[in-house]
């Protein structure tokens, strides 16, 4: 397997760091680290180390992954994402070598290396005797890789369970940021910011608290989508459609039984069409029209041919009801009539 196949690709839009909801203290720490990278050469003159190892820990869905991506974007660096949970479990036996290669790739590209589910390699105590030796080798390998990581390469690790990680690993990180569930005030600010991009009519929803930013985003997204779909359904139901009738749909009895109302419309005509007769065998249609033979429109190449009728205004549901009324020999097409108006017309399916 190629090395690139082991790296996760993310298609999600990266938020700028200043748009991620973090406390002032956390942002100060992150911007200090970014400044160290931006003034790398100036600090190097005084043999000052760069804080290039960051551990993000705490509640899931509170912005750890978003922070890692924002850091890479701020530094204009590529981000290499490795989920240790799925990576180690599927590659046990090759893990140490593959992780070494990924660290080397990050160093060559001076990239941001993001190790997600970092706690996975800290669970040495939880492994049975068969795998514990391999896991210990992986931990020792990563400790060495972290120790020799070049100053111009940034390592970001994320975990929801910092308490189970080996203390020898934890000591390697100069910056440790804890992510907790946002306060009610912080969530209100987040809700307000999220809703700004949607029209006022879609901003009504019940706010939920004591949840993560990711959960809050899901709630907003679900609510807005539900409201948009409801509006679209309502608009579709209320949308007016125009239908040209040249036959039995002009009969009040047919209209009453099909639409529960009498239609109003305007006279119009359509060129290059002629009418033929179609024998109806459908009992339901026959009971409504009380006519065994119905006219059916057929297109011609003769410009002198034309048919006359009435263009009615229907709702979407009424147009659907008309489809159900017409027998299978008809098909509905859109045409422009002699008045210039565009309307549906039922014509012969096999003309």
- Domain ranges for the chain: 3-180, 185-237, 241-348
Q: What is the pLDDT of residues 314-325, one digit of tens each?
A: 998 899 999 999
Residue 287 has a CB neighbour count (10 Å cut-off) of 10
The residues with which 58 forms a beta bridge, in sequence order, are 179
Alpha-carbon distance of 41 to 50, in angstroms, equals 10
Evaluate whether 255 touches 263 at the Cβ level (below 8 Å).
yes
Evaluate whether 241 touches 345 at the Cβ level (below 8 Å).
no
Fold classification of 3-180 is Rossmann fold (3.40.50)
Alpha-carbon distance of 189 to 97, in angstroms, equals 45
Q: What is the pLDDT of residues 8-50, one digit of tens each?
A: 555 556 788 888 888 889 999 999 999 998 898 899 899 888 8
Which of 342, 241, 245 has its CA nearest to residue 295?
Answer: 245
* Sign of the dihedral through C-alpha 55, 59, 65, 71: negative
Q: Is the pTM of this model over 0.75?
A: no
pLDDT of residue 164: 87
How many Å separate Cα 33 from the centre of its chain?
Answer: 32
Its CATH class, for the domain covering 241-348, is alpha beta
Mean pLDDT of successive 10-residue stretches along the chain, which has 351 residues: 54 77 89 91 89 93 91 92 77 76 92 91 54 75 92 93 88 93 93 93 93 93 95 84 95 94 96 95 92 95 95 93 94 96 94 66
pLDDT of residue 339: 96
């Amino acid at each position: 397997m190629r090395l690139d196949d082991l790296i996760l690709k993310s298609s999600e839009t990266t938020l700028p760091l200043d748009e991620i909801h973090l406390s002032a203290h956390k942002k100060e720490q992150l911007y200090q680290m970014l400044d160290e990278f931006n003034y790398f050469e100036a600090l190097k003159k005084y043999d000052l180390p760069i804080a290039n190892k960051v551990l993000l820990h705490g509640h899931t869905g509170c912005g750890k992954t978003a922070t890692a991506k924002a850091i890479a974007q701020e530094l204009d660096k590529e981000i290499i994402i490795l989920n240790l949970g799925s990576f180690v479990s599927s590659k046990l036996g090759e893990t140490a070598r593959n992780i070494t290669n990924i660290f080397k790739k990050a160093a060559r590209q001076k990239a941001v290396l993001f190790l997600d589910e970092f706690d996975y390699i800290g669970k040495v105590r939880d492994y049975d005797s068969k795998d514990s030796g391999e896991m210990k080798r992986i931990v020792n390998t990563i400790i060495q890789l972290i120790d020799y990581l070049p100053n111009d390469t940034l390592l970001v690790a994320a975990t929801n369970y910092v308490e189970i990680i080996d203390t020898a690993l934890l000591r390697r990180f100069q910056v440790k940021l804890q992510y907790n569930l946002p306060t009610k005030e912080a969530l209100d600010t987040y809700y307000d910011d999220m809703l700004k991009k949607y029209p006022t009519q879609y901003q009504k929803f019940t706010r939920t608290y004591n949840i993560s930013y990711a959960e809050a985003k899901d709630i907003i997204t679900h609510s807005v989508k539900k409201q948009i779909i409801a509006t679209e359904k309502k608009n579709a139901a209320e949308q007016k459609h125009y239908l040209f009738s040249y036959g039995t749909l002009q009969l009040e009895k047919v209209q009453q039984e099909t639409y529960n109302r009498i239609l109003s419309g305007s006279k119009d005509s359509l060129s290059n069409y002629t009418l033929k007769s179609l024998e109806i065998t459908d009992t339901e249609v026959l009971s409504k029209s009380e006519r065994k033979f119905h006219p059916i429109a057929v297109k011609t190449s003769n410009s002198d041919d034309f048919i006359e009728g009435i263009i009615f205004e229907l709702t979407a549901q009424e147009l659907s009801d008309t489809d159900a009324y017409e027998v299978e020999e008809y098909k509905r097409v859109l045409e422009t009539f002699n008045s210039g108006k565009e309307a549906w017309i039922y014509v012969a399916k096999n003309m």
